[in-house]
């Protein structure tokens, strides 16, 4: 008798999905880079169709190759959090080798086996690590590092053993590329990784590994460059001239600051004088502050001209530290200095003089500043607005409201900030007039921002009006966000609306309520019902 009828055919995870669905998932990864769908597409690797496995492997490999280390770390979590990996399938007795085909190249195999090490099933992860250990491309290193912090002790041991076997010059480039993952282990709580990290630091401190660190300073990832600089400083194998060269080529300001701190540490006066013209012009204010303080320390008597010039710096913290260091030398009449620059120039110093005047003068000096509101240079107009705000903003609200309609977006935004720092509620009608008659989109939006910032009950009619605005999507988006925020924070303040405010709200609901989400409309009606 033939009993084949009663035999159960083996069903692979991929066979549980329709062809159309699988194609949709793969296309979203391939075309839209939706890497968070990798765990779902990974299931398609166990399929009856070799053609399907090859296509899936190619798409997964291409996507994995472009992932940052942060995305890789998140993907490790997503494999566990967002999918059960089809627990009806016996993954523990499955071999990662069955996901591979002879037609796959070595790089594709490493990517697929690397994803296998993210699998929720511990037995499957461990087998994937052993299989991955047979490859020596260097791309297996990040997968070993992630598993060094696995929650299963045996998997941690296997991963660490395989990684330590690769701490050598052959893999120096890959180790440097994965330094962010290495140092993330420092904060891991499942095991103590200090010995492993120390081995890596000792390896990279060798002369043979210097080239890899130098190559790492050119990485597109800030954290790779950060750890390369840290190791360079820690190892003491790089002199100040070399660190200065790295500082000059570094674009990220906080990394330049780290290098600068080491360069200035125990520096001689001669070397400092050589590099002062370079560092004093750095774009990052924190660097200029440190350099200025160092210059003051080395050249106390000769520092006054440099400090006076720095009083006009474009950055407030630089101007402040310059005044502090001059005060230590009994120079305190800064108002006169700023007034003299405003009267006599040069023109390129006006901006620093205006801002400096705002920091040390009083409202009696505003007449000096007001003419700059009519200047044709945007930077000077913005500086004048800011200075007036610091000296006596409440008196000049009308000027700020007028500048909301300025053709330049930056000027309008600066005027908005200045009004927000004042008591502008009494200017509600004037601001709404600006909104209604706005010539520029940025004027309309900034006026809407101010009206949304009014007190609780005054702002709600405007929020509803902006919510339903069809002419300007940015204003409509602002209204929707503000209404969500208004409803969420309703119970945080307990002011009681007057009858006029209630009438305005009811009128807004009557005119525009049908365009609101029903639940939001119902909430508003409930909140005003008791008044």
DSSP letter string over 361-410?
--GGGHHHHGGGGG-S-HHHHHHHHHHHHHHHGGGGHHHHHHHTT-SSHH
Residues 320-338 pLDDT 10s: 999 999 999 999 999 999 9
Cα dist from 470 to 199, 464, 504, whole Å = 62, 12, 21
> Closest Cα to residue 405, out of 383, 373, 379, 453?
373
User: For residue 530, is pLDDT > 80?
Assistant: no
CB 440 within 8 A of CB 405: yes
Q: Looking at residues 354-376, what average pLDDT do you find?
A: 95
Q: With CA atoms as reference, report the closest residue to 26 among 60, 75, 67, 3.
A: 60
The pLDDT, as a whole number, for residue 91 is 81
- Tell me what pLDDT residue 495 has: 84
Q: What pLDDT sits at residue 233? A: 92
Instruction: Tell me the whole-structure pTM to 2 decimals.
Output: 0.81
State the DSSP code for 133: T
State residue 396's pLDDT score: 96
- Strand, helix or coil for residue 223: helix
Q: What confidence score (pLDDT) does residue 1 get?
A: 47
Q: What is the mean pLDDT of residues 280-303?
A: 94
Average pLDDT, the chain: 92
Per-residue confidence (pLDDT) for residue 86, from 0 to 100: 56
**Cβ–Cβ < 8 Å for 229, 217:** yes
Residue 261 has pLDDT above 90, yes or no: yes
Is pLDDT at 21 greater than 80 in this prediction?
Answer: yes
pLDDT (mean) for 10-32:
87
**pLDDT grade for 5, boundaries at 50, 70 and 90:** very low
Q: Using an 8 Å Cβ cutoff, are 96 and 131 in contact? A: yes
pLDDT at 90: 79
Instruction: Give the tens place of pLDDT for each residue, 464-519.
Output: 999 999 889 999 999 999 999 999 988 877 788 899 999 999 999 999 989 999 99
pLDDT at 512: 92
Short-list 143, 83, 152, 80, CA closest to 113 = 143
The proportion of the chain whose per-residue pLDDT surpasses 70, expressed as a percent, equals: 97
pLDDT of residue 7: 44
Report the b/e string of 273-308 with b at 16+ CB within 10 A.
eebbeebbebebbbbbbbbbebbbeeeeeebeebbe
**Which residues fall within 8 angstroms of residue 493, CB to CB, at 6 or more apart?**
456
Residue 166 confidence (pLDDT) above 70: yes
- Is the model's pLDDT at 448 over the cut of 80? yes
Task: Say if residue 176's pLDDT is above 50.
Answer: yes
pLDDT grade for 84, boundaries at 50, 70 and 90:
low
- Find out whether the peptide bond into 346 is cis, omega within 30 degrees of 0: yes
Tens digit of pLDDT for each residue in 128-138?
Answer: 999 999 999 99
3-class SS at 180?
helix
Q: What average pLDDT does this structure show over 432-460?
A: 96
pLDDT computed for residue 85 by the predictor: 53
Of the listed ranges 153-167, 188-202, 448-462, 490-504, the least confidently predicted one is 490-504
CA distance 310 to 318: 7
Q: What is the dihedral of CA 304, 308, 314, 316, to 10 degrees?
A: 80
């Amino acid at each position: 008798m033939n009993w084949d009828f009663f035999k159960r055919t083996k069903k692979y995870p991929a066979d549980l999905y329709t062809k159309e669905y699988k194609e949709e998932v793969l296309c979203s990864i391939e075309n839209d880079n939706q890497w968070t769908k990798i765990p779902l597409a990974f299931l398609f690797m166990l399929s009856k169709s070799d053609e399907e496995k090859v296509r899936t492997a190619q798409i997964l490999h291409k996507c994995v190759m472009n992932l940052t280390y942060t995305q890789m770390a998140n993907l490790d979590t997503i494999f566990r959090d967002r999918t059960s990996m089809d627990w009806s399938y016996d993954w523990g007795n499955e071999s990662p080798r069955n996901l591979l085909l002879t037609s796959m190249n070595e790089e594709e195999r490493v990517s697929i086996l690397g994803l296998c090490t993210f699998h929720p099933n511990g037995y499957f992860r461990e087998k994937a690590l052993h299989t991955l250990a047979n490859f020596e491309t260097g791309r297996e290193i990040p997968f070993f590092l992630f598993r060094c912090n696995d929650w299963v002790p045996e998997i941690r041991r296997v991963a660490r053993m395989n990684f330590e076997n690769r701490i050598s010059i052959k893999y120096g480039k890959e180790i440097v590329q994965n330094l962010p993952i290495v140092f993330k282990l420092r904060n891991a709580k499942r095991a103590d990784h200090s010995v492993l990290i120390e081995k890596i630091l000792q390896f990279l401190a060798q002369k043979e590994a210097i080239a890899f660190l130098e190559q790492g300073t050119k990485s597109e990832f800030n954290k790779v460059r950060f750890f390369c600089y840290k190791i360079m400083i820690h190892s003491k194998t790089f002199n100040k001239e070399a660190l200065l060269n790295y500082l000059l080529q570094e674009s990220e300001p906080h990394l330049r600051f780290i290098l600068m701190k080491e360069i200035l540490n125990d520096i001689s006066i001669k070397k400092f004088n050589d590099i002062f013209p370079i560092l004093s012009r750095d774009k990052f204010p924190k660097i200029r502050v440190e350099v200025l303080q160092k210059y003051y320390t080395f050249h106390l008597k000769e520092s006054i001209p440099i400090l006076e010039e720095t009083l006009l710096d474009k950055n407030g913290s630089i101007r402040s530290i310059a005044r502090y260091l001059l005060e230590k030398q009994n120079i305190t009449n800064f108002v006169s200095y700023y007034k003299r620059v405003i009267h006599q120039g040069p023109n390129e110093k006006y901006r620093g003089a205006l801002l400096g005047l705002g920091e040390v003068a009083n409202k009696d000096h505003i007449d000096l500043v007001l003419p700059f509101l009519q200047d044709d240079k945007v930077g000077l107009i913005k500086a004048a607005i800011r200075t007036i705000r610091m000296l006596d903003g409440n008196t000049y609200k009308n000027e700020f409201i007028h500048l909301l309609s300025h053709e330049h977006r930056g000027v309008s935004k600066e005027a908005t900030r200045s009004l927000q720092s004042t008591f502008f509620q009494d200017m509600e009608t004037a601001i709404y007039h600006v909104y209604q008659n706005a010539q520029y989109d940025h004027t309309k939006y900034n006026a809407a921002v101010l009206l949304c910032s009014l007190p609780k009950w005054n702002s709600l009619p405007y929020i509803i009006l902006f919510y339903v605005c069809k002419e300007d999507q940015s204003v409509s988006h602002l209204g929707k966000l503000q209404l969500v925020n208004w409803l969420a924070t309703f119970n945080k303040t307990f002011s009681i609306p007057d009858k006029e405010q209630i009438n305005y709200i009811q009128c807004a609901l009557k005119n525009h309520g049908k365009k609101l989400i029903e639940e939001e409309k119902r909430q508003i009606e409930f909140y005003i019902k008791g008044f």
